[in-house]
Amino acid sequence: MPEAWLDLLETCRRPNGSYGFWPYGATPAWAPELPADSDDTAVMLLELARAGRVSRTEARSVACHTVGAHRLRRVLDPGPPWLRQGMFTTWHRRGAGRDIDLVDLTAATNVLALLYSLGLQQIPGVEETLAGLTTGLGWAASSAARWQSLSPFYPEPDELARALDHATQCGVRGLTDGARTARQVCPRQSLDAVCSMAYGPPIWHSSDLAAIRRTA
């Protein structure tokens, strides 16, 4: 990854070590102030650790105290059958907001990729998250609507498929069939759509990312 990209990722770090969507203290005036989240923390921390910007020891500590500390405390009915108490949640909220939170399976997959890469697959939450993820993949099966419901913050199920591929490369087992099925059932509709608010809009697009992926 280019050094300038890594420089930008470092600016998204929060004082407690987690990472957020915008550079810290530089949220655009038009955008809501969002808390740090497990998805950004997992992706950015892993890339910075791989590049040597964060030591493995520090990365393990940060992972345990950020993504590892935010788990679903209770499951409300009615809800999707793949939710599990103890799964890693999306947002790093404080107070009452921590009791009930969204679980995005693309974000959860990225968290598993981080933890397996750092040798932290035995910490609390991994077993529950992996169980919920594999159940969700089986539940989605041949239903495009179900695949789209698994990841509130990703409008394209292909992003989940990519996350599953990446997690597999990081040592997580049992995800390859799910990635293949996601692509078969939900062919990508928008090449440059990246992420969204919960079940969007708005949707963020990146033509540059689409171009990089085409080249890769």
The per-residue pLDDT for range 136-160, each reduced to its tens digit, is 999 999 999 999 999 999 999 999 9
Higher-pLDDT residue of 62 and 16 is: 62
pLDDT at 97 over 60: no
Coil, strand or helix: which one is 168? helix
Does position 15 have pLDDT exceeding 60, yes or no? yes
Q: What are the start-end ranges of the E strands in 38-174?
A: none
pLDDT-derived band at 98, boundaries 50, 70, 90: low
